[in-house]
């Protein structure tokens, strides 16, 4: 009997790679640099990523399917936080490789929590020690790596800088070696499983987070209400949801200046991603309590798990 997962080419490899870690250690930045283009949104604000996002990297005979996940955190006071933890934990089921991302010199109780979850994982775990470009004293790195090696038996420990794109090749090579022999699951030119509508909504949310990280809590969601190509122009209408009237005023800004800037920044990234001229329209609407309600989250498409 023919096994459809076994390729004619014995060098063909394919598998899933979960990128996990606590919030704000650079998981999304790492995925974007591995892919060579922006797929996951990033900001300096922790917990920017809310969804699992697949990033597909095909190099010759090897296809690595990276799963970017929300940061795992200890507190789950709101439905949104619980959703994000479920999204991150579910990524560990049936993956072939795990990349556990940690900060270059900060180990926290949240890192311990992630490490504890990895005890149940049978897949090999690579420890990626990120942000080494920020080390004031390079000689401090080696003893830190030695201390990390005592926490569990990692398949490899690789220091790198996701932001600077430094030392990513050894990480990719290690991942490629660990993937199973298999046919490729996706066409070689595909880079994600997510729709353009999803990516458009995430770009708008990133621009809001970057501009208002200190002013606005996490109570912002974005829905794409229109996504239509007309000739050479892509028309996109996005609805920004907040929980309170005061938050709506913050996003709109004085005489609408802030929402215009958010729209301009989002449009620039959209035109690069979609390779098209973009006409973007933004609205802001108050939807009280959406981040606390499982039902509201499901209405926003956050019901994958």
Whether residue 93 is annotated as binding a ligand: the answer is no
Q: Which pair of tokens denotes residue 160?
A: 């790198």
Whether residue 68 is annotated as binding a ligand: the answer is yes
Whether residue 70 is annotated as binding a ligand: the answer is yes
Whether residue 132 is annotated as binding a ligand: the answer is yes
Whether residue 72 is annotated as binding a ligand: the answer is yes
Helix spans in 152-195 (H): 168-178
Q: Residue 43 and residue 73: Cα distance in Å, rounded? A: 17
Whether residue 131 is annotated as binding a ligand: the answer is yes
| CA neighbor of 162 nearest in space, from 101, 247, 226, 114 | 101
Whether residue 24 is annotated as binding a ligand: the answer is yes
Whether residue 69 is annotated as binding a ligand: the answer is yes
Whether residue 130 is annotated as binding a ligand: the answer is yes
Instruction: Return binding residues.
Output: 21-28, 68-72, 130-133
Residues in the annotated binding site for GTP: 21-28, 68-72, 130-133
């Amino acid at each position: 009997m023919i096994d459809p997962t076994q390729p004619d080419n014995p060098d063909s490899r394919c598998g899933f790679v979960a990128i996990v870690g606590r919030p704000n250690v650079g998981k999304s930045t790492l995925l974007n640099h591995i892919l060579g283009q922006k797929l996951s949104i990033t900001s300096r604000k922790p917990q920017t990523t809310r969804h699992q996002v697949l990033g597909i990297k095909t190099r010759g005979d090897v296809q690595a399917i990276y799963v970017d996940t929300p940061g795992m955190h200890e507190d789950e006071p709101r439905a949104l936080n619980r959703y994000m933890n479920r999204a991150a934990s579910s990524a560990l089921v049936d993956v072939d490789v795990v990349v556990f991302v940690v900060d270059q010199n900060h180990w926290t109780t949240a890192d311990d929590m992630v490490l504890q979850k990895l005890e149940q994982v049978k897949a090999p775990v690579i420890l990626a020690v990120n942000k080494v470009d920020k080390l004031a004293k390079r000689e401090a790195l080696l003893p830190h790596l030695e201390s990390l090696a005592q926490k569990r038996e990692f398949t490899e420990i690789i220091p790198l800088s996701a932001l600077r794109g430094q030392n990513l090749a050894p990480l990719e090579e290690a991942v490629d070696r660990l993937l199973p022999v298999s046919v490729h699951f996706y066409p070689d030119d595909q880079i994600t499983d997510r729709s353009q509508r999803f990516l458009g909504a995430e770009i708008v949310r990133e621009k809001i987070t970057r501009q208002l990280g200190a002013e606005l809590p996490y109570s912002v969601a974005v829905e794409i209400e229109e996504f239509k190509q007309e000739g050479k122009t892509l028309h996109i209408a996005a609805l920004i949801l907040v929980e309170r009237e005061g938050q709506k005023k913050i996003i709109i800004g004085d005489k609408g200046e802030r929402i215009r800037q958010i729209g301009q920044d989002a449009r620039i990234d959209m035109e690069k991603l979609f390779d098209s001229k973009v006409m973007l329209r933004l609205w802001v609407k108050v939807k009280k309590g959406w981040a606390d309600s499982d039902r509201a989250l499901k209405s926003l498409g956050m019901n994958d798990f």
